[in-house]
Amino acid sequence: MPKTIAIVSGGLDSVTMAYHLKDRGHKLHLLSVDYGQRHLVEHEFAAKAARVLGVPHDVADLGAVGKLLGGSSLTDPAVDVPARKSEEMTGGSPNVVPNRNALLLAVAFAVAVAEQAQAVAIGVIDDAQAAPDCTPEFLDFFLTMEKIATRGYAHPDLTLTAPLAKLRKSGVVALGEKLGVPWTDTWTCFRGTTLHCGRCAACWERQEAFLEAGVADPTDYQTSHSKEPA
């Protein structure tokens, strides 16, 4: 039973990853990171997942870092969260925080060393529009760096796993449905409103994933283009 530090934000992907790893027999410690994002609603859902799975959950406070990460709608209050997708925009998506996964993984590996865990898990998926720090190339090089940085201190088998990396978001929904993931206990929206807004890129991707997977979407949206499976 490998001990795994799983980076779980409370979103659909990371919560499904946690259920998957638990089903595979991993001894989990869920880790969320406050990097100064626009809202922390999702962390409430990470805590719910931990309670249901019966595993520990902690939040690493890097909130002050967010003040230095301007230019992203996720960290900069001066940048509006755009509606739907923004492929027409140049210079990168406003919904991306460059190097974010490097921050999250650095914290997770530090925790893994302290707890002598055998793995760090991150819930990246197969998404052509994902940030560059979601790619297999990045993950491979990051693990190589961590093996050097933690040599002599980490568990000798410490590795980095991305169990959803070959799945599209609809595939994640299909997997989560089999595992009994309570979808209403996950949060996707970039806005920290009472309900999912239904208009931001994250909400559209969530709705489209349920449609493509043929799974009824139980999420309450302020605005929704469809909630019925195709």
pLDDT at 222 over 80: yes
Region class of 6: left (phi > 0), else alpha (psi between -120 and 50), else beta: beta
Q: Which range is least confidently modeled, 51-65, 119-133, 167-181?
A: 119-133
Neighbouring residues of 65: CB distance < 8 A, sequence distance ≥ 6? 35, 36, 103
**What mean pLDDT is reported for the chain?**
91
Q: Would you state the pLDDT for residue 227?
A: 43
Give the start-to-end residue ranges of the domains of the chain: 3-192
Instruction: Mark 92-116 as b/e (b = at least 16 C-beta within 10 Å).
Output: ebbbbbeebbebbbebbbbbbbeee
Question: Which of 57-66, 83-92, 96-105 has the weakest average pLDDT?
Answer: 83-92
pTM: 0.92
Mean pLDDT value of segment 57-78: 88
Q: How far apart are CA 124 and CA 122, in angstroms?
A: 6
Identify the CATH assignment for 3-192 out of 3.40.50.620, 3.30.1330.10, 3.30.70.120, 3.30.200.20.
Answer: 3.40.50.620
pLDDT for position 87 = 47
Residue pLDDT, tens place only, 73-94 = 887 787 888 877 544 444 446 7
pLDDT computed for residue 228 by the predictor = 42
